[in-house]
């Protein structure tokens, strides 16, 4: 029986050419696997037909947009997942769901190898291959661009020679990856980190310098998950899409950052994630009134480590699974409403309410009705500072000798 290889297929030039390129280099049959994670653009059927037209013996296509929103975006929201405090893990969280379907397709079609279109320079090769090793430890991995010397000029020449049904003449200077959680842009003009992004880079967001009238929105959460917008019930996918639209119209969620890649180099990235950033902002503010102080402090540390693990391709790791359990426990009371104004590139929270809030008006107020016993403060301060006071006395005593 001829060996079979499943290929993570985007429908673009490189992965379309990779179908035939892999076949010629290995003698194997190629099954194209396309996964919709809310990236928009062409229909799955169009992509399927193109894969078959480029020589795939089978084409596995999956609409995973709800799965992605529910099982990958929502855990990221609960963790307030931001790599290096900036990046909402747009590409990093899409790779595990794609890996899941790649392994599923490999089992379904009897493939022994999984292929992806990543280079040897980026993070995605790690995310794909570590995930595949974890879910399908018997499967081998290859990367045509990295392992089979498939460069862009070779891809164009191969496509023209074979008459493949794919556009080969239009060259976008940027590398773009997008899904419903956001959009990532790199390379080209942006590699000079002094260059400011040009307007043509953006697609999910409007220019924040000339915004429409302010847009006030109320987001309702239950156990850390958005369940309604302005009183209208929504699924996680609908919540992300609605805030992509409304926050995007106000220019919210533009991020320009130089980040530390897993492979050891720094990389300039442009992200736009209007829905993700609006939801994370709202979620953080709701946690401020519903999560106990020490738990919240520790969760911030956990969230940072969680983000690093996910960025580094460890979605399926034991540590990430353990951190998930802690984060999930913190979300028990994260229910309520957040009111925010979207305007001029900012999402500003101006109201919050919750039946499970830890905010006590009578303890917080300085007016009549104050129930806080201020006489307790003097003894508290004495005890709180005791350790430092004793150490300071020791330091003065030793220094005087």
Q: Is 259 annotated as a binding residue?
A: yes
* Main-chain phi, psi angles of 29, to 5 degrees: -85, 145
Closest-CA residue to 14 (of 186, 159, 183, 132): 159
Position 175 scores a pLDDT of 82
Angle at 88 between CA 82 and CA 93, to 5 degrees: 110
Share of the chain above pLDDT 90, in %: 81
Q: Is 16 flagged in the annotation as binding?
A: yes
For residue 70, say whether it is annotated as part of any ligand binding site.
no
pLDDT score for 172: 62
Place of tokens 């099982």: 71
pLDDT at 168: 58
First to last CA, the chain: 87
CB 224 within 8 A of CB 231: no
* Confidence at residue 272, expressed as pLDDT on a 0 to 100 scale: 98
d(CA 28, CA 31): 10
CA distance 287 to 358: 10
* Tens-place pLDDT, residues 63-73: 999 999 999 99
pLDDT in tens, 110-153: 999 999 988 888 899 999 999 999 999 999 999 988 887 787 78
C-alpha torsion angle, residues 178, 183, 188, 194 (rounded to 10): -170
72 is in an annotated binding site: no
Residue 287: per-residue pLDDT: 98
Contact present, 244 and 226 (Cβ < 8 Å): no
Positions marked catalytic: 14, 95, 124, 175
Q: Which domains does the chain have, with CATH numbers?
A: 4-171 (3.40.50.620), 176-291+333-353 (3.90.1260.10), 368-399 (no CATH)
pLDDT score at 234: 98
pLDDT at 173: 65
**For the chain, which ranges sit under pLDDT 50?**
none
For residues 89 and 83, is the Cβ–Cβ distance under 8 A?
yes
């Amino acid at each position: 029986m001829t060996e079979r290889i499943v290929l993570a297929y985007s429908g673009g030039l490189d992965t379309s050419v990779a179908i035939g390129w892999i076949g010629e280099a290995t003698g194997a049959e190629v099954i194209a696997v396309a996964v919709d994670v809310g990236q928009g653009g062409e229909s799955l059927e169009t992509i399927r037909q193109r894969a078959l037209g480029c020589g795939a013996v089978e084409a596995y296509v999956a609409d995973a947009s709800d799965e992605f929103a529910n099982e990958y975006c929502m855990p990221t929201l609960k963790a307030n997942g931001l790599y290096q405090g900036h990046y909402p893990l747009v590409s990093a969280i899409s790779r595990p769901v794609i890996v899941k379907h790649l392994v599923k397709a490999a089992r379904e079609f009897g493939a022994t190898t999984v292929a992806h279109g990543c280079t040897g320079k980026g993070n995605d090769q790690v995310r794909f291959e570590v995930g595949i090793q974890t879910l399908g430890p018997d499967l081998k991995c290859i990367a045509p661009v990295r392992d089979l010397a498939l460069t862009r000029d070779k891809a164009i020449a191969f496509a023209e020679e074979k008459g493949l049904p794919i556009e080969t003449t239009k060259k976008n200077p940027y590398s773009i990856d997008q899904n419903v959680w956001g959009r990532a842009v790199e390379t080209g003009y942006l590699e000079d980190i002094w260059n400011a992004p040009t307007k043509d880079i953006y697609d999910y967001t409007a220019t924040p310098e000339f915004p429409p009238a302010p847009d006030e929105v109320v987001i309702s959460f239950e156990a850390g998950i958005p369940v309604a917008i302005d009183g209208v019930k929504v699924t996680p996918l609908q919540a992300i899409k609605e805030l992509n639209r409304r926050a995007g119209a106000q220019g919210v969620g533009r991020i320009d950052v130089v980040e530390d890649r897993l492979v050891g180099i720094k990389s300039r990235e442009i992200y736009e994630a209007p829905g993700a950033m609006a939801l994370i902002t709202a979620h953080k503010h709701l946690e401020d009134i519903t999560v106990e102080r020490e738990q919240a402090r520790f969760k911030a540390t956990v969230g940072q480590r969680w983000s690093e693990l996910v960025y580094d391709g460890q979605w399926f790791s034991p540590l990430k699974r353990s951190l998930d359990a802690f984060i999930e426990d913190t979300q028990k009371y994260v229910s309520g409403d957040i009111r925010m104004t979207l305007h001029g590139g900012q999402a500003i929270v101006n109201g919050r309410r919750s039946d499970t809030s830890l905010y006590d008006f009578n303890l917080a107020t300085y007016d009549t009705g104050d129930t806080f016993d201020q006489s307790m403060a003097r003894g508290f301060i004495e005890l709180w500072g005791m350790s430092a006071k004793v150490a300071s006395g020791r330091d003065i005593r030793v220094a005087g000798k």
